[in-house]
Structure 1
Amino acid sequence: MKAAEARDVGRAAGTTLRQATRTVRGVHGMVSDAAYAAVTAALGPGVTQPIKTANDLVTAVAYGATGMGLDAASRIAGFATSLKLAHTGDRGPSVHDGRGAHRALAASVGLRGDAFAVSAPSLAPEMQVRAGQQRIELTREGLAHAYPDAGPDIAVYLHGLCQSERSWSLGAGDSPTHPERLAADLGLSPVLIRYNTGLRVSHNGAHLADLLDVLIEAWPVQVRRLVLVGFSMGGLVVHSALVAPAPANGERTWTNLVSDTVTIGTPHHGSPLARGAQLAVERLSRDANGRRAVDLVRQRSAGIKDLTHGNVTDADWFGHDPDDGGDHRTHPAVPDGIRHHAIVGVISGHVDGAVARRVGDLLVPPRSATHAALDAIPSRFLRERTAVVTGVHHLGMLSSSGVQDHLHRFLSPTAQPALTRAARTGTN
């Protein structure tokens, strides 16, 4: 851990503990209010009100002092650790490169990454290419060293919420990962991306578009084909990058090289879990105790809020109250000339059963994973470019042989050419 990271860990932990204390106080208050209401109904307010007033005062002081104490203690511990690390030369590895610490960091970034970018910037990773547990410099020399066998065909991989690039090996064991198999069988050089999943999807989409501009320019050999693969939230980032505004100095050249996109378990129409969090905030924020009880949920990252409906552009959320759970998506058209594929997971053994339709892979139902057509809004995917894998949960798709087979089939050079937007609209 670096000195700056230790200091920021203290800040982030202190803020989180203070908010957690506020949440506990809210739950305590809701239970207490219910008990006092029952006693008041039996004995009258003259008996219970003085007791309740005194209890509320003691509770406020106790929880307030506890929250501030935990916050201060965490910040002091982080500051003291940072001083010690700086005194010894600050030679330790970054938490971003550690074998174990990055997992906790990835989860924390997914939950609070937008706040970290402001208050604890050393913990908020910039979008970057990773290989061999290191960040790769996007120069011709840096890429040539990291990819000695670089070929003209590239596959870029985007992980999901609360994950890192190492998630592509989750559950694989000794079997080849999806990137490894596609590299071996189809010659697609794997480029794994790490990014701050707590940021807005549209912000990460813009960051990805900028990164690809640099990557293509610096790649050791001339790029012939570019494939974009996104798991869960990563699929939204892929589609966001494709519609990101061009830089002021001209057009994005990498978009002309994209032959295919594949989204795996991506909530194109949002996630029921994210909508449940939004509903909890709306229902419980009607009084002070309720607002305290859902304080941690309210403070969830902007990236999680984007999963409520599947936002991909700034226009989908800009100008709206952050706690507004309405669907304000603009549904930008997918670019022409690119094959867009979706792989769906269902926990049941049957594709058409009620469980498959409603539960999907436990996090994303099929209608969302396939961006099912809405009124006057066509799907992003042709029917023949969607595939369902049965008997698999959301994270299981990262190591599923069925998913690997569909990736291989979709991305094989023998795949059919892309269709225009008009043909896609007419088919769905």
Structure 2
Amino acid sequence: MTEPSTPAGDSADRPSRWRRFSAAARRAASLPVQGLDYLYQAGQAYRHFTLPILNGAIGDQLAARQDPKAIQMSFRQLGADVAVADLHLPGPALTTVVFLHGLMGDEMIWQTGTPDTPRYGPLLQREAGVRCLYVRYNSGLHISQNGQLLSHLLTDLLTTHPDAVEQLVLVGHSMGGLVIRSAGYYGTHGPTAPAPWVARLRSVFLLGVPNDGSFLEQNSHLTSVMLRKINVAPTRFLSKAMDQRSNGIKDLRHAWLVDQDWQSPHADDVLMPPRTVVPPLPGVPYHVLVGSLLKTASSALHHYFGDGLVGAGSAVGRIFGDPAPPPDTQIHTRVFAQQSHAGLLSNPEVYAYIRKHL
């Protein structure tokens, strides 16, 4: 006599309710652990960004209290600060390209990428036969402070390695471009001007640089002023909290490049704040590379929003768009359509432009 077969899908072939409940409970209990593990792994993968972000936000405060987390401007090699005297610059004199990152960035933005999004530093070194150096700086400090530090750093480079640097090329993204322009000012107006690096300067590339200021910081400042004017406890608290942003961020409001602008008693004026005009260095080609989220560069939206973080009107800048610039001024402007602020760092067309005009 044969035993009756068990119907397909019968409960005998399925785990009991208790087993299913236990498995679900174990999965639920493991979720916080998995989440913490994910956060830890992500933190490890992107830990090189943590310190630059902190410095961009409150780096001036860290520097004021001599906190060891405050970044010191330095050349970087193999993920570490390198003194100028310890830079490894083998071989003959070469065109040397110095890269500067933007607010809350670091030197890795010029070096690490994917096959689809190559970064300019390694490509130029391999394909253009140049030497690439990378600078990390505390982007929470005043732009003019970083400009003076950069001028000193480049002077040290030329003084310590005079036979290694044939010509000098400076490439800056966002705030990094403003630091370069500020260094040019102090390299020609400082107590030992002209600085030796100025004579070696071959060209300057400004990628997505808010040369006339950032609309985001302008709106933040206006909001803070309005909250203070309302003058009740909640708005005073919010305004005070907003005003804790770093001096570097505040300087982006009007692209202040020299000390006397942010030191002025009228620096916080909403209308007609002080702003010293800093023209391009004479005889040096400036390449102003502008990103636009739009397909066309002939709209008010393009002028105001530009690449999403820097307005195209600001990137072009009044001084760069001047129809009657000072004598011996060389300005070349190029707009890259449908290009975001970060996309300017890994765009094949941008790379091709830089390589062609080195």
- TM bracket (short chain): 0.7 to 0.9
Question: How many aligned residue pairs are there?
Answer: 310
1:395 corresponds, among 339, 342, 350, to 342
Deviation at 1:247, TM superposition (A): 5.7
1:331-350 equivalences in 2 (<5 Å)? 331-350=277-296
SS of 1:334's partner is: coil
Partner of 1:136: 82
Tell me the TM-score normalized by structure 1.
0.67
Deviation at 1:318, TM superposition (A): 1.6
Partners of 1:363 and 1:218 in 2: CA distance: 38
Identify, as 1 or 2, the structure richer in helix.
1
Partner of 1:371: 317
1:201 corresponds, among 143, 147, 165, to 143
RMSD: 2.6
1:288-307 equivalences in 2 (<5 Å)? 288-307=233-252
1:239-250 equivalences in 2 (<5 Å)? 239-244=181-186, 248=191
Q: Which moved more, 1:376-385 or 1:125-134?
A: 376-385
SS of 2:357's partner is: helix
Partners of 2:341 and 2:250 in 1: CA distance: 19
User: Residue type of the partner of 1:143?
Assistant: L
Partners of 1:343 and 1:150 in 2: CA distance: 31
Quickly say closer, same or farther: Cα 1:378–1:297, change in 2 above 3 A. farther
2:89 is the counterpart of 1:114? no
Partners of 1:406 and 1:333 in 2: CA distance: 23
SS of 2:170's partner is: strand
Deviation at 1:219, TM superposition (A): 2.5
2:209 is the counterpart of 1:266? yes
Contact 1:170 1:399 in 2 (8 A): no
User: Residue type of the partner of 2:265?
Assistant: H
Contact 1:151 1:189 in 2 (8 A): no
Deviation at 1:221, TM superposition (A): 3.3
1:145-294 equivalences in 2 (<5 Å)? 147-148=89-90, 151-169=93-111, 172-173=114-115, 175-219=117-161, 221-244=163-186, 248=191, 251-286=194-229, 287=231, 288-294=233-239
1:356 corresponds, among 288, 302, 315, to 302
Deviation string 1:95-116 (CA, Å, 9 cap, x unpaired) is xxx8633312211111111111
Partner of 1:31: none
The structure with the largest alpha-carbon Rg is 2
1:308 corresponds, among 237, 241, 253, to 253
Partners of 2:110 and 2:332 in 1: CA distance: 22
Contact 2:292 2:337 in 1 (8 A): yes
1:105 corresponds, among 37, 51, 75, to 51
Contact 1:159 1:231 in 2 (8 A): yes
Q: Which moved more, 1:358-367 or 1:234-243?
A: 358-367
Deviation string 1:30-87 (CA, Å, 9 cap, x unpaired) is xxxxxxxxxxxxxxxxxxxxxxxxxxxxxxxxxxxxxxxxxxxxxxxxxxxxxxxxxx
Q: Percent identity over the alignment?
A: 31
Unaligned runs of 5+ in 2: 1-43
SS of 1:243's partner is: helix
Partner of 2:333: 386
Quickly say closer, same or farther: Cα 1:114–1:150, change in 2 above 3 A. farther
Contact 1:232 1:263 in 2 (8 A): yes
Deviation at 1:399, TM superposition (A): 0.8
User: Residue type of the partner of 1:125?
Assistant: I
Partner of 1:422: none
Contact 1:261 1:341 in 2 (8 A): yes
Q: Which moved more, 1:170-179 or 1:294-303?
A: 170-179
Deviation at 1:187, TM superposition (A): 2.1
Deviation at 1:150, TM superposition (A): 6.6
SS of 1:184's partner is: helix
Deviation at 1:376, TM superposition (A): 8.3
Deviation string 1:364-409 (CA, Å, 9 cap, x unpaired) is 1111111135998966997861111111111111111121122122
Partners of 2:226 and 2:308 in 1: CA distance: 24
1:315-326 equivalences in 2 (<5 Å)? 315-320=260-265, 323-325=268-270, 326=272
Deviation at 1:335, TM superposition (A): 1.9
Contact 1:370 1:379 in 2 (8 A): no
Quickly say closer, same or farther: Cα 1:150–1:353, change in 2 above 3 A. farther
Contact 1:235 1:266 in 2 (8 A): yes
